[in-house]
């Protein structure tokens, strides 16, 4: 529930003229980012996300991304990639460039929760 609340309003943390690259999409500005995120969240259901953050000086960050999700036909995928972010002086994200690859997870019928994976080590 808390994550969903963050997702609904998250486009407000971006600059008005923010520019993104995500796979083959290039949204520019808050309105396009909002539409992109709404499409993404409607398609990538029940995703479990892991990001390994590496802080870079001068208001920039990069992270490795790994997550799993399924579509509305219950086809499961695992996605891997990298994201690069840059922020303005007020802390708003100006740029987000993501290079992510999706791999079909054949034969998968149920997801292992992130909490269960953390408990297992």
| Average of per-residue pLDDT across 14-23 | 92
Which one has a higher pLDDT value, 57 or 21?
A: 21
Any idea which fold 2-120 has?
A: Nuclear Transport Factor 2; Chain: A, (3.10.450)
SS3 string of 7-35? HHHHHHHEEEEEEEEECCECCECHHHHHH
Write down the pLDDT at residue 36. 92
Give pTM, 2 decimals. Answer: 0.72
Write down the pLDDT at residue 108. 64
Domain boundaries along the sequence of the chain:
2-120
Q: Quick: pLDDT tens for 46-98.
A: 988 888 887 777 788 888 989 999 999 989 999 999 999 999 988 889 999 99
């Amino acid at each position: 529930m808390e994550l969903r609340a963050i997702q609904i309003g998250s486009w407000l943390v971006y600059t008005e003229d923010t520019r993104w690259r995500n796979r083959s999409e290039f949204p520019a500005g808050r309105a396009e980012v909002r539409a992109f995120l709404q499409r993404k969240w409607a398609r990538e259901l029940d995703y479990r996300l892991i990001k390994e953050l590496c802080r870079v000086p001068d208001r920039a960050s990069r992270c490795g991304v790994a997550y799993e999700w399924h579509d509305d036909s219950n086809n499961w995928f695992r996605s891997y990639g990298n994201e690069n972010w840059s922020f303005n002086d007020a802390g708003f994200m100006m740029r987000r460039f993501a290079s992510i690859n999706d791999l079909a997870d054949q034969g998968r019928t149920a997801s292992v929760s992130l909490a269960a994976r953390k408990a297992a080590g």
